[in-house]
Amino acid sequence: MAVSESYRAFVIEQLERVSFVTAKSMFGGVGIYSRGLFFALIADDRLYFKVDDATRPDFERYGMEVLRPFGDETAMGYYEVPADVVEDAIQLAEWVAKAIDVAAVAKNGKRKKSK
């Protein structure tokens, strides 16, 4: 799960453009938080967002892979974020908001009400 310093800096800079985030090194990767919610991680110079049944199709449409930190046997609830999304502030803001919402549901058990 190694992460290069240049990739870490790039991703954090992109995420900070669209949301308040903090990053913490963990197990060779980087955990990404927004207001205490763990919604993303960086592993092997790839950004992954937390997903649920409602958001998973967005990632699958792009053909993105699920995070499997221990090989093929164990899949986590995180999918790789497409490079196009990481580089587009408007799309990234939408995807970050969804991932934060998924993290909030996982932590609190309910979704935010739509406006």
Examine the pLDDT at 2 and tell me if it is beyond 50. yes
Give 110's pLDDT tier (boundaries 50, 70, 90). low
Examine the pLDDT at 71 and tell me if it is beyond 50. yes
Percentage, residues of the chain above pLDDT 70: 88
- Claim: this prediction has a pTM higher than 0.85: yes
**34 Cβ contact list (under 8 Å, min separation 6):** 19, 20, 21, 22, 96, 100, 103
Domains and CATH numbers, the chain: 5-108 (3.30.1460.30)
Give 73-94 pLDDT, tens digit per residue: 666 789 999 999 999 999 999 9
Give the residue-averaged pLDDT of 1-21.
91
pLDDT of residue 52: 94
Task: Give, in order, the Cα–Cα distances in Å from 16 to each of 37, 58, 67.
Answer: 15, 22, 23
Fill in the DSSP letter of residue 66.
B
Which of 2-6, 57-61, 71-75: highest mean pLDDT?
Answer: 57-61
